[in-house]
Structure 1
Amino acid sequence: MFSEQFKVRFCETDGLAHVSNTVLVQWFETAREPIFRIFSPELDLKNWPLILASYQVDFLKQIYYGEMVDVKTYISRLGNSAFDVYQEVWQNQQKSATGLTTMVNFDYQLQKAKPIDANIRTLLMEHIIEL
């Protein structure tokens, strides 16, 4: 599991003083950076190996301004060329949201998916969770 903490910023809230629903997608992407580094340690955008195929966010509780959140990131499925990233947002010891993102190891020159290398697969397996 990877873990990333964020302090909820004022600009991330709406008129009801809770976090806007669009913010969680940004937090989830930022918290996936350690996974991105497994594929591209230097985060070389000219040789980027991943493409986002889909994502889903489920809102379980309101998340409020001025308090820390912890985003936990796991691998929940590992296929030949695609994998699912499962994430949770916690605030005040309560799970407040979950996200599921499907990523594909992608060859941009050939415009098609490619198998995940064995060494990368091993590193991803260290963060697997069964749902």
Structure 2
Amino acid sequence: MFYFELQPRFSDTDALGHISNTTLPVWFEQARMPLFRIFHPTLDVKSWPLIIARVEVDFVAQSYWHLPVEIRTGTGKIGNSSFQVIQEAWQDGKQIARGQAVMIHFDYKTNKSVPIPEEIRIQLAEHQIE
């Protein structure tokens, strides 16, 4: 599992003073960076090998701008050419959100999914969550 801590910005809040529901997917994407590096250590977008097929976020509790947030990221099911990303957001000892994303190993030249190489599958499995 990967851990990423961030300090919410005042601009991440909505009119009610809570962290906006549009902010969590952005934080989750930022916290997927270690998984991106497994596939593509340079992060060069000219040869990017992933696309996102699905994003799902459950908002569990209210969250606020003045307290740090920890994003926990791991993997779920690993398929032939896709894998599931499991994420949780925690603030002040409470889970505030959980999410799942499906990432696909993708070849932009052929516009098709491609199998995940075995060495990458092994690394993804090291971060698998039950």
State the TM-score, normalized to the length of structure 1: 0.98
Query: What letter corresponds to residue 83 of structure 1 in structure 2?
Result: F
CA distance in 2, matches of 1:112, 1:84: 18
CA distance in 2, matches of 1:16, 1:65: 11
1:88 corresponding residue in structure 2: 88
| RMSD, matched Cα | 0.6
Give the CA deviation at 1:110. Answer: 0.7
CA distance in 2, matches of 1:14, 1:59: 14
1:28 corresponding residue in structure 2: 28
Query: What letter corresponds to residue 24 of structure 2 in structure 1?
Result: L
CA distance in 1, matches of 2:123, 2:84: 14
- After superposition, the C-alpha distances for 1:33-73 in whole angstroms (9 at most, x for unaligned) are 00000000000100000000011000000111110000000
Query: What letter corresponds to residue 109 of structure 1 in structure 2?
Result: K
- After superposition, the C-alpha distances for 1:91-128 in whole angstroms (9 at most, x for unaligned) are 01111100100000001111111000000001101100
Identity of aligned residues (%): 48
CA distance in 2, matches of 1:71, 1:24: 10
CA distance in 2, matches of 1:101, 1:24: 13
**Which consecutive residues of structure 2, in runs of 5 or more, have no partner in the other structure?**
none
Matched, 1:3 2:11: no
Give the CA deviation at 1:17. Answer: 1.3
Matched, 1:106 2:78: no
1:40 corresponding residue in structure 2: 40
Query: What letter corresponds to residue 85 of structure 1 in structure 2?
Result: V
